Structure 1
Amino acid sequence: MINVLFVCLGNICRSPMAEGIFRDRVEKAGLSDQINVDSAGTGDYHLGKPPHAETRGILGKAEISSEGMRARQVQESDWNEFDYIVAMDRENMKDLKGFRAAHDDITVVKIMDYVESVEEEDVPDPYYTGNFDYVYNLLTEGCDNLLSEIKQVNQLQ
């Protein structure tokens, strides 16, 4: 089983949106028995809360479920469970580096490394910008390209 964790600051906007999009792509590719998906935040601001209403709305419009998603914080145990940890921005990468030193076998990347259509380095936080549609488009492209890479590297069909 390949385990993928998406990480943002509060785990109510970007990372649950990425989790939903990626899980949808994994299911449509028939790989649910080979790839597990989750999300978490570096902060503890929204623990136990469902994704932001706008995140749930945009996922719902795309017929992607956010059922059962609840905000949680990245934990030490995540570094033993996940093969890919995917940060939404440079700040998340910086926050994750403290964990990474002891777990250099884990692939830690930024989702924007998989987005070719724009030059941005970070996924803007729609909690502050309000631009959930733009974030959805960035994450869709990034998730599609990340899944392609995971399939290729792990020789998944």
Structure 2
Amino acid sequence: MRLLVVCLGNICRSPMAEGALRFRLQQAGLGDRVQVDSAGTGDWHVDEPPDRRAIATAASHGVDISTLRGRQLHVDDFQRFDWLLCADRTNLREVRARAPRDARAEIVLLREWAGEGTGAEIADPYTGGQSHFDTVWAQVDAAARHAAARFSRQRRPG
């Protein structure tokens, strides 16, 4: 299974979600079964590390995202990944608009996919303060916990 988390610039929400997903999947013994990556719809932060506040917030929860680097969503991603998990409705519309006709990936909201309610979004913390990053962490970590539980149930026989 291959998951790609998508936000606007790939320096706040999507790298935090990538880190949380990897962490929770590894804890559940699923790190070798589920691959996780992240990307942005924009190209402003290609090859840059995540925002320092995102790095610090993830680190405060025992997750190191400092080695991640921003990248832009690429047409190949629609074939390489099973799920493109979008941070908000704006990203969802943008990703769906870019999807080629033969796209293999399902394109959905991350939190909705994780079972956190229809239309559940992750607000962009970039222009906010630490409390905004804390809120995003709580949201992506909850989604990661739900995803790990979901994949764990699928792994069990019967």
Q: TM-score, normalised by structure 2?
A: 0.88
Aligned pairs (5 A) from 1:58-69: 58-69=57-68
Structure 2 match to 1:86: 85
- Mark the CA change 1:24 to 1:108 in structure 2 (over 3 Å): closer, same or farther: same
Segment of structure 1 superposing worse, 28-37 or 40-49: 28-37
Distance 1:56 1:14, change over 3 A: same
What are the Cα deviations for residues 83-132 of structure 1, in whole angstroms up to 9, with x where unaligned?
Answer: 1110000000011112335245422211231363x887321101022310
Please say if residues 8 and 41 of structure 2, whose CA atoms lie closer than 8 Å, have aligned partners that are also in contact.
yes
State the 1:151 CA deviation.
4.0
Please state if 1:136 is matched with 2:137: yes
- Provide structure 2 residue ranges, at least 5 long, that are not aligned to the other structure: none
Alignment of 1:27-38 (within 5 A): 27-38=26-37
Q: Deviations over 1:47-102 (max 9, x none)?
A: 11100001100111111111420000000111111011100000000111123352
* 1:128–1:115 CA distance, 2 compared to 1 (3 A): farther
Mapped contact 2:2–2:36 kept (Cα < 8 A): yes
Alignment RMSD (CA, Å) = 1.9
Match in the other structure for 1:17? 16
Tell me the TM-score normalised to structure 1 length: 0.88
Question: What letter corresponds to residue 58 of structure 1 in structure 2?
Answer: T
CA contact (8 A) 1:85 1:109 kept: yes
Q: Is the 8 A contact 2:13 2:124 kept in 1?
A: yes
In structure 2, how many angstroms separate the alpha carbons of the residues matched to 1:92 and 1:26? Answer: 24
**Kept after mapping to 2: 8 A contact 1:5/1:86:** yes
Contact 2:78 2:104 in 1 (8 A): no
Superposition pairs for residues 113-152 of structure 1, below 5 Å? 113=112, 114=114, 116=116, 121-130=120-129, 131-152=132-153
State the partner residue of 1:8: 7
**5+ residue gaps in structure 1?**
none
Aligned residue identity for 2:98: F
Q: Secondary structure at the match of 2:126?
A: helix
Distance 1:102 1:149, change over 3 A: farther
